[in-house]
Chain A
Amino acid sequence: MNASAARYIADIGGRLEQLIGQPDPGASAEMLTLGEEILEHWVRARGKEPTGDEREGFRLLALHRQGADKDPSFNACRETCRELAYHYNLLTLQPDHEESVQRARMMALVANHLYLFISGKMETAGLGEFCCSSKPIRTGLTGGVDGNRSAQ
């Protein structure tokens, strides 16, 4: 497991909240990485090793494609990933643009949507470890929120 995958997905959400509140045009690479980490969580939770490949120049898009394998509903975040890549391009190709701060805010909001979509999907499916207290729920030790969730 690489260092990035060791971070709880909820911590990624926390960092994104900071970036929404204090948008930083210099954090475009970090936001792209956060997007990749979110997708890594999804891929790992489904028992696969996250790809290192790129698609259209972005690992993010390759990870999305990997995450959507045999799960077409995952394509509901396809355009969110593409918007993230688009905003990354805007910020890196035009770093001194007068709307850089606004673009950084939008990129953080888009990344946050990816986080909310995937963390919500994982929670509903009982996948992954979204926080340290999730494990008992996930493994059925507490019976889960509905009292009969089976172990994953």
Chain B
Amino acid sequence: MSDKQTKTSREKYAEVAYYPGCALEGTGHAYNRSTKALGKALGLKLKEVDNWNCCGAMEVKNIDPKLQTYLSSRVMSIAANKMKMDVVMAPCNGCYHNLKRAEWDLQNDDKSKEVVGRLSQKAGHETYQAGQVETIHALDWIKDGIGEDGLKQRVKNSLKGVKIANYYGCMYTRPRHIFPEKDAGAGSESTSKPHFMDDLLAAAGAENVDFPLKTACCGGAHTLSDSDTSTRLVANILQTAEAAGAEVIATECPTCHSGLEMHQIRAEKTLGIKTSVKIIYFTQLLGLALGLKPRTVGLQENVSDSFAYVKEKGLA
């Protein structure tokens, strides 16, 4: 049995290749900042993937899915072959989804293998082979790298009294076949009712509300082409969260997060629907629970202004 197979998740996730992706350098910068700060506070190391590229996002995938497979495979190839890492951690749902999809394609589709081999050769880097790295989300990283008990031991400012609706978005669990580690029994993530974010925030003292739209579509893909539909979908998510008793929507995807923030404002302006629920990354909430300052977790970079709220809750 190889070292890679015998290592526990806790050992494997202690140091991971970090793939922030494009969004975390732009609209999702607060997620980037808080993920790094949280890792540091928890003693988990991140080594950013050298010279990483776009995962292919939606744009490339819609035009040429095989090219998206190649672009995602290049990121994994650098992590595996150049950096000699076993695990790639992608906090963005879109990046995470695309890397997992590329992994699946390279395991199951000969045409994808052929295209990736040809383009890798042309680009002058080693071809990624399926199984060389394990791709995980930031939620897996904390959940399996530290765990709820480990988190509880480190909490300095309990999230007690913070009522949260956990919003996972639609790409974290879909399509099911590219996430073979989910729905794998006790302790694994569920694709129909994901709970890793709920578990982590509960460990930090938060009160999770029963939120029926955890994985519902926010219209993110149509945010530019059909903004009104996106606004209506987001307004319904926000209203449902508030009706469920939430004061905060916790997010784990930069696209979902910025969509909720922007359309919260737009819903008030265009539809007259005013909601006051705060939108905060789960990494920011956990960081605050560990005693990090709001600015350290990038709260000032959020559009949704939650400074007064976190102060009121004794988190700042």
Contact = CB atoms under 8 A, between A and B. Distances in A.
Contacts, number: 67
Contact of B229 (A78, A83, A102, A120): A120
A112 interface: yes
A87 B210 CA distance: 12
Contact of A72 (B175, B212, B244): B175
B174 A75 contact: yes
A109 interface: yes
Interface residues of B, number: 24
B243 A113 contact: no
Interface in A75-133: 75-80, 82-83, 86-87, 102, 105-106, 109-110, 112-113, 116-117, 120, 123-124
Chain B binding surface, main DSSP class: loop
Contacts of B214: 79
B216 interface: yes
B119 interface: no
B222 interface: yes
Nearest to A84: B212
Contacts of B213: 80, 83, 109-110, 113
A35 B5 CA distance: 47
A78 B216 CA distance: 9
A113 B233 contact: yes
Contact of A110 (B215, B217, B240): B240
Nearest to B169: A76
B236 A109 contact: yes
Interface in B223-281: 225-226, 229, 232-233, 236-237, 239-240, 243-244
B183 to A, nearest CB: 13
A109 B245 CA distance: 14
B232 A120 contact: yes
Contacts of B236: 109, 112-113, 116
A83 B237 CA distance: 14
B170 interface: yes
B188 interface: no
Given A87-B212, A124-B229, A76 B243 contact: no
A106 B243 CA distance: 7
Nearest to A110: B212
Contacts of B219: 117, 120
B53 interface: no
Contacts of B108: none
Contacts of A110: 212-213, 240
Scoring B216, B219, B237, B243 by chain A CB atoms within 10 A of each residue's CB, the highest score goes to: B216
B121 interface: no
Nearest to A99: B210
Contacts of A78: 192
A124 B1 CA distance: 52
B170 A76 contact: yes
Given A83-B212, A120-B219, 20 more contacts: A76-B170, A76-B216, A78-B192, A79-B192, A79-B215, A80-B217, A83-B213, A106-B243, A109-B213, A109-B240, A110-B213, A110-B240, A112-B236, A113-B217, A113-B240, A117-B217, A117-B219, A123-B226, A124-B225, A124-B229
Interface of B: 170, 174-175, 192-193, 212-217, 219, 222, 225-226, 229, 232-233, 236-237, 239-240, 243-244
29 contacts: A20-B239, A75-B174, A76-B170, A76-B174, A76-B216, A77-B217, A79-B215, A80-B213, A80-B216, A80-B217, A83-B212, A83-B213, A87-B212, A102-B243, A106-B212, A109-B213, A109-B236, A109-B239, A109-B243, A112-B236, A113-B216, A113-B240, A116-B233, A116-B236, A117-B233, A120-B226, A123-B226, A124-B225, A124-B226
Interface of A: 20, 72, 75-80, 82-83, 86-87, 102, 105-106, 109-110, 112-113, 116-117, 120, 123-124
Please provide the 9 A-B residue pairs with the shortest distance between their CB atoms, ordered closest to farther. Answer: A120-B229, A83-B212, A76-B217, A109-B240, A76-B170, A79-B215, A116-B232, A110-B212, A113-B236
